[in-house]
Amino acid sequence: MIRDNLYHHEHGGEPERRFFVEHRSLLDFSVNISPLFPSLPETALSAFDVHRYPSIDGRGVRDFYCGRFGLDGGTVLPVNGAVEGIYLVPRALKLKRVMVLAPSFFDYERACRIAGAKVSCLRLEEQATFTLPGIEVISGKLESVDALIAANPNNPTGTRFPKEVFLALASRFPEKWFIMDEAFIQFSDDFPDASMMRDVRALKNVMVLHSLTKFYALPGLRLGAVIAHHDVIGMLLRHKEPWTVNVVAEDVARQLLHCGEFERDVRMLIASERAKIFKQVNKIPEITLKGYGANFFLAQWNAETGLDDLLKYLIGKNIYVRDCRNFPGLEDNYFRFAIRKPEENRYLLEQLQQAGEGVKAMLK
């Protein structure tokens, strides 16, 4: 397996490189984006003026956050996808020692190292569904760092953590930063209660990284925001590049304010498909489900055949899932698959149900 590339971590989504197949011909369960797309008026995609600069500060995206989530504009810093925030924050805050969850999204560690910080890990508890250790254990480990970066729900484990744990820690350690990545929060059943977006005004040491690329299925557009206390946004602005949110993203963000029906549809679809898949996959002896708090599942292949065999078998069925073995802690045959449309999920389930025997037959 190729582990080292330009970014020292293989991100998902490139089956061509590994399996020499045409990506377009596959059902891609490896990317965690919404299976439905918002229907945006034609004008949203054709009538913007790319011959002018966008607003210097991504105003269109800020308008969305204020209008949709009732946030105060001064607490919203629009960015070119949550990933811009992930790289901006450690640099702007001059973090020296950061604790990240493990396993989790790789770019936290990379961003912190580039910013000159040392990175330590807070191991999630595998025997359960990759849950957090107890609050006293976390408190002990926090003593030696400036910041904790945690995704909620976490990717790739799919774990949803109770926000009360982070709120309690943020109150107990006001001198430490709590950087919460809520890229997948709108997929969770208890959104908006699950989100810490509204807690940043009271807790100056909490910030939320949010993405519009997952829930609204717009990864190609790059749009999201850092949500934090006004004073913290001021600090970040001193280090942020101007014009990182483009004209198209600004325009589309404003259109998203009218996508209430789409939001309800996605949430209903994810909740009902999640329950169905959970029930069915739990009956497959070769697969153990771990996390399922967002729009994807973390699963473990327990058959005597290896994960490579399963992946090859699924590719033969036109299905691509995310090999998670390059996340430290997930080497033991873990893979992830997204929740897609009902008929696509049904097809995946059928193939997973037959995979135990199917893989053996393929190897004969």
List residues near ligand PLP by CB under 6 A. Answer: 81-83, 105, 151, 155, 181, 183, 211, 213, 219, 224
- Sheet with 118-123, strands from edge to edge, namely 76-79, 224-227, 206-211, 177-181, 147-151, 97-102, 118-123
Q: Which residue number, 159 or 351, has a Cβ lying nearer to ligand PLP? A: 159
Q: Which residue number, 83 or 303, has a Cβ lying nearer to ligand PLP? A: 83
User: Smallest gap, in angstroms, from Cβ of residue 358 to ligand PLP?
Assistant: 30
CA dist 142 to 7, 117, 170, 178, 258, Å?
Answer: 28, 15, 11, 10, 42
Q: Which residue number, 30 or 351, has a Cβ lying nearer to ligand PLP? A: 30
Q: Which residue number, 54 or 224, has a Cβ lying nearer to ligand PLP? A: 224
User: Smallest gap, in angstroms, from Cβ of residue 81 to ligand PLP?
Assistant: 3
Q: List all residues 6 or more positions away from 189 whose beta carbon is below 8 Å from its beta carbon.
A: 271
User: Smallest gap, in angstroms, from Cβ of residue 106 to ligand PLP?
Assistant: 9
What is the rounded distance in angstroms from the CA atom of residue 71 to the CA atom of residue 130? 31
The pair phi, psi for residue 187, each rounded to 5°, is -85, -10
User: Smallest gap, in angstroms, from Cβ of residue 103 to ligand PLP?
Assistant: 11
Instruction: Give residue number: closest CB to ligand PLP.
Output: 81
Pick the closest to residue 297 from 274, 315, 279, 318 (CA basis). Answer: 274
Q: Which residue number, 225 or 284, has a Cβ lying nearer to ligand PLP? A: 225
Question: What radius of gyration do the chain's Cα atoms show?
Answer: 21
User: Smallest gap, in angstroms, from Cβ of residue 88 to ligand PLP?
Assistant: 12
User: Smallest gap, in angstroms, from Cβ of residue 284 to ligand PLP?
Assistant: 26
Q: Which residue number, 262 or 327, has a Cβ lying nearer to ligand PLP? A: 327
Amino acid at 257: L
Instruction: Return the DSSP state at 162.
Output: P
User: Smallest gap, in angstroms, from Cβ of residue 209 to ligand PLP?
Assistant: 7
Pick the closest to residue 290 from 152, 151, 129, 159 (CA basis). Answer: 129
Q: Which residue number, 213 or 255, has a Cβ lying nearer to ligand PLP? A: 213
Pick the closest to residue 167 from 119, 127, 133, 208 (CA basis). Answer: 208
Q: Which residue number, 115 or 303, has a Cβ lying nearer to ligand PLP? A: 115
What is the rounded distance in angstroms from the CA atom of residue 122 to the CA atom of residue 245? 33
User: Smallest gap, in angstroms, from Cβ of residue 291 to ligand PLP?
Assistant: 12
Instruction: For the chain, list the strands marked E by DSSP.
Output: 27-28, 76-79, 97-102, 118-123, 147-151, 177-181, 206-211, 224-227, 287-289, 296-301, 319-320, 322-323, 334-338
